[in-house]
Chain A
Amino acid sequence: MLLLVLAIPCGARGASTETNDPLQSLNRKTYAFNEGLDKYILRPVARGWDFVAPDIVEDSLRNFDDNIRFPIIAVNDILQWKWRAATEQTGRFVVNTTVGILGFRDVAAGWGLAKQNEDSGQTFGKWGIPAGPYLVLPLFGPSNPRDAIGLLADGALSIYWLAAPLYVTLPYRTVDVVNRRALADEDIESARKAALDFYVFMRNAYRQRRNALIRDVAETGTGAAAIDDNLYDVDDPYELDDEE
């Protein structure tokens, strides 16, 4: 909660580029730990998995996990007063759980019921709660106090923890993480190559992406509005806030 207080002094100007990283020295250490974990354990395992698992298996697993995230999405839609989206997502869950065979196939997407990206951190953002300083979480990666609390709330909304014992959910979660890492490998490695400083790349991309999600970039198509127009002034480009 103390961290939430730290959140207040972030200027509105340059929202898409500001730094707000007072905990940088700690964050960099956690980042290095996460990177090591990815380099020596997660990525090698994911590559092995990618080698043995056919694409259809990888896609099906991801679909299954997306489908059981339904309560998180629906509840957050309601908390953001998006009743239409909540209804659509319910329809999506019903269709995919039945016709899509327990959610392994995303049939609903073809029926005009597209997947939605929603979580508790976004809801807090929509309610006007500021993100707070950048925070790298061990294992979970880029975050901030608002989204970290959001993660806890998402965990509470994940009813399957109640439906199945730990010796089922823990291995399941592990497989899901490995599978998603495998699916994202190309994007992640290409980002690593593109970045001159991957830590700063992640910090900035995370902030921009979360802002866009809070503004519902996919549903309303107003994602670019999250970007400060001053960014594009060649004659008087502003300095980025440097809060170190």
Chain B
Amino acid sequence: MNSMMKNSLTGLFCGALLAAQVSASGAPPREVVDTMAGQVLATLRDTSLESAARRAKVEEIIYAHVDFDTLSRLVMARNWRRLSAAQQKEFEGLFKRHLSDTYGENVDNYRNESVAILSERTEKRGDVTVKSKVVRTGSDDILIDYRLRKRNHDWRIIDVVIEGVSLVANFRAQFQDIMSNGGADRLLELLREKTLAPPPE
């Protein structure tokens, strides 16, 4: 065996190992939510971080646990097929950006909240709903349900239901309304305005 081949084999092997480790997890849904919440809270509590760095870190954690591809298809529903491949790609990017912007903004408003995982339930479609509660001092707790779906051995979040309000259902209602009044162009334009992204060439 020549050394080059040996090297590339070792490389392949290491690559496979690494890949196995990354998706290794295969962690059960409850653990996925628990880990994510723990990481987010630790980041929010970390006073050594600057605002921008904290936000970037939270974003990274969320991106690792949310299946934005499925999320985009679900919020667009039948309208998904009315978009061209390029529009689908742009939509996914903008929607992801938009969600990060709106929710990332609150990273500096941490007030000693903690998260408790309450229970989990398997849904008809094989998805799993993990119920959790954000415990706040001085105000009411917030109930948050995470819906997870298994994809490539990993459980990823496909919807967040806050106090009974599903993010997927809510955005779907909005996008449907916009699509039926102004089409995909209007929807993408609105998303660009919201995220302040420049229009594509």
Contacts and interface: CB of A to CB of B under 8 A. Distances in A.
A232 to B, nearest CB: 6
A12 interface: no
B17 interface: no
A211 B149 CA distance: 24
B163 A212 contact: yes
A224 B145 contact: yes
B56 interface: no
Nearest to A117: B140
Given A190-B102, A221-B118, A231 B168 contact: yes
Contacts of B118: 221
B16 interface: no
A183 B139 contact: yes
Contacts of A234: 70, 73-74
Interface stretch (A39-47, A94-102, A136-144, A191-199): A191-199
B109 A186 contact: yes
Given A200-B174, A204-B173, A208-B170, A232 B127 contact: yes
B129 interface: yes
B161 A227 contact: yes
B78 A239 contact: yes
B113 interface: no
Given A209-B164, A224-B129, A231-B166, A17 B172 contact: yes
Contacts, number: 127
A196 B161 contact: no
A218 B163 CA distance: 8
A115 interface: yes
Nearest to B125: A232
A5 B97 CA distance: 43
Interface string B151-173: 00000001101011110111011
A203 B172 CA distance: 12
Contacts of A227: 161, 166, 169
Chain B: interface residue count, which band? Answer: 35 or more
Interface string A186-230: 100010011111001101110011011101011001011011010
B108 to A, nearest CB: 11
A196 B174 contact: yes
Contacts of A211: 164
A59 interface: yes
A197 B178 contact: yes
Interface in B50-108: 70, 73-74, 77-78, 80, 98-99, 101-103, 105-106
Interface of A: 16-17, 19, 55, 59, 115, 183, 186, 190, 193-197, 200-201, 203-205, 208-209, 211-213, 215, 217-218, 221, 223-224, 226-227, 229, 231-234, 237-240, 242
The 8 closest A-B pairs by CB, nearest first: A212-B164, A237-B77, A204-B173, A194-B102, A223-B164, A16-B169, A208-B165, A200-B174
30 contacts: A19-B177, A55-B138, A115-B140, A193-B194, A194-B98, A194-B99, A196-B174, A196-B175, A196-B178, A196-B187, A197-B178, A200-B173, A201-B174, A204-B170, A205-B170, A209-B163, A209-B165, A223-B143, A223-B163, A224-B131, A227-B169, A231-B74, A231-B166, A234-B74, A237-B74, A237-B78, A238-B77, A240-B77, A240-B172, A242-B180
Given A194-B99, A240-B176, 19 more contacts: A17-B169, A59-B138, A190-B102, A194-B102, A196-B175, A196-B191, A196-B194, A201-B170, A203-B173, A213-B164, A224-B131, A224-B164, A227-B169, A231-B159, A231-B166, A232-B149, A238-B77, A239-B176, A240-B77
